[in-house]
Amino acid sequence: MGGRGERFGRHLRLLKPVEYRRVFANPVRSSDGSFTVLARANELGYPRLGLAIARKQLSTAVARNRVKRAVRESFRRHRR
Q: Cα–Cα distance between 70 and 80 in angstroms, integer?
A: 17
CA 50 to each of CA 1, 35, 40: distance values in angstroms, whole numbers, following the listed order: 25, 14, 11
Tens digit of each residue's pLDDT, the chain (80 residues): 555 557 788 889 999 999 999 999 989 999 998 888 999 999 998 899 999 998 998 999 999 999 999 999 998 888 76
Give me the CATH code for the 4-78 domain, please: 3.30.230.10
What are the extents of the domains in the chain?
A: 4-78
Q: Cα–Cα distance between 12 and 5 in angstroms, integer?
A: 12
Tell me, what amino acid is at 73? E
CA 2 to each of CA 7, 8, 48, 78, 80: distance values in angstroms, whole numbers, following the listed order: 8, 11, 20, 14, 16
